[in-house]
Amino acid sequence: GASTVTSRSGEVMFSAEGAEPVKLRVTQGDKTFTNPLGGVPDPWIIQHDGWYYLCKIGSGGVYISRSKKLTKLESTQIVWYAPKDQGENKPWNVANYWAPELHHIDGRWYIYYTAGRPASEFGGHYYSQRSGVLRAKSSDPFGEWEDMGMLYTGYNYQPGIKPTIENTEYAIDLTTFELKGQRYAVWSGNGTDAVQQIRIATMSDPCTISSSMVILSTPTQSWETMDGRKINEGPAILVNEEKGKLFIVYSCNPSWTKNYRLAWLMLDMNDGD
């Protein structure tokens, strides 16, 4: 409903180790609204041809919707149903769907997502979580989709390698971007040491990783390890074309604690090759 508050204001203090604290006064006017993403975990929205597309996980699979307004999101509809075990056929991606991202690349729609086997098969842990990609069969994102399989997120890439749970590592929150004609995948992953890092690899096409992974960021800073857990996750790409900067914004510390926060990596796109 409409707000009955004419305006309100308050002060917010930002502080970081080694820097002077900054105090801001924030004034909220009467044209307020309720954040429509408040109940959406791992929300993802992109703009395309004048529409805002929301992609999320719901009961049984992946859902999307579109709206002309960011402030009023429409009801989502399912576009992909999670596969199920059928006898000896046990797909890698039957459970625990997380963090889907809808991308429009070279005229086609893709959804990157995280999934795995039931945690009960791994003592209650999510060790089998990997990244996969779906591709729309037509230009209509509300039409049929096809499963293009797991993405290779290991460190021993060989041309033609078939990704499996055994030859890859825990890989979640995968996103993609293009820089100087080369497409890249960026995700959060870890090996047996449980140190969750931001990782990157090249892609030969939107459905295929074409190199071994390289570690971009490991949680070593005091503000990344406040709860004893070493977690870097949820990478998102921001580009400032005017200044020639590419940012990878990521989250650190456990998501279930008050210390969960954002940090960023920065690349000067004009620096070298």
User: Of 3-12, 72-81, 137-146, which range is least confident?
Assistant: 3-12
Q: Can you tell me the mean pLDDT for 74-93?
A: 96
Is the pLDDT score of 34 beyond 80?
no
pLDDT in tens, 35-70: 888 788 888 999 999 999 999 999 999 999 999 998
Q: Closest Cα to residue 56, out of 46, 42, 68, 70?
A: 42
DSSP three-state, residue 120: helix
Q: Residues 243-271: pLDDT tens digits?
A: 999 999 999 999 999 999 999 999 999 87
- What are the distances in angstroms from CA 147 to CA 45, 75, 91, 186, 210? 21, 24, 11, 20, 19
The two structure tokens encoding residue 176: 């993609």
Handedness of CA 107, 108, 109, 115 (dihedral sign): negative
Residue 71 pLDDT grade (very low, low, confident, very high; cuts 50, 70, 90): confident
Q: Following DSSP, what letter does each residue of 197-253 receive, concatenated? A: EEEEEEEEETTEE-S--EEEE---SGGG-TTS--BEEEEEEEEETTTTEEEEEEEES
Whether the pTM exceeds 0.85: the reply is yes
Whole-number percent of the chain with pLDDT over 70? 96
Q: What pLDDT band is residue 272 in, cutting at 50, 70 and 90?
A: low
Return d(Cα 183, Cα 206) in angstroms, integer.
Answer: 8
Residue 1: its pLDDT value, please?
Answer: 46
Contact 103, 114 (CB under 8 A): no
DSSP string, 160-208: TPPP-TTTS-EEEEEEEEEETTEEEEEEEEE-TT--BEEEEEEEEETTE
Mean of the per-residue pLDDT values for the chain? Answer: 93
Q: Calculate mean pLDDT across residues 111-139.
A: 97
Q: Quote the Cα angle for 108-39-100, to 5°.
A: 25
Q: Are 91 and 85 in contact (CB under 8 A)?
A: yes
